[in-house]
Structure 1
């Protein structure tokens, strides 16, 4: 599996043609305590860059953009009852949705973990 990041602080972990999407550790730390998450419905067709989820914290509400194009397989239902999972494990159990990639080459325009770490260090 390979993980890629966007400049908007989303990540996608790719395993075959399935991607799992969430927000980065950096993003959740900037948001503060997460109080609400809205994930997309299965079957939703999305394009790279589309806003597909919403995360609300005590500080702000933010859109979550899809780093890749495809069809949503499922949203993370656990976030409806326990949105704080995003704070506790943003790059693990706090994932937002899974997607079937329609164009796997789109990840080539994203950052790998080391490039993302360097990007964040300059913010």
Structure 2
């Protein structure tokens, strides 16, 4: 995956993922929210999991939901977080499912980075 400049405006499908991730993050009061779209167009949303026996980033949780539902690859993945670039864990899990695009957005929905395969 290689970094490119953040787009001024996302396409409607990617913008929808940002909205879903932001909503999930806000609803659960989580540090991060994530949404992914698989190769068939199905969407999965998750937030950070922080339990004594299990810790997942929001993107790891969304990818786990997608994989457990039969997804084999991702068209796009979005993480809404205070960080300006994806974490190493998020980059790795996106690469595992050959995500075509990994977008990081601020809590207000502003795109802060985009990584394309």
Which category of TM-score, normalised to the shorter sequence, fits these structures?
under 0.3
Choose 1 or 2 for highest CA Rg: 1
TM-score of the superposition, structure 2-length normalised?
A: 0.27
Give the structure with the larger helix fraction.
2
TM-score of the superposition, structure 1-length normalised?
A: 0.27
Give the structure with the larger strand fraction.
1
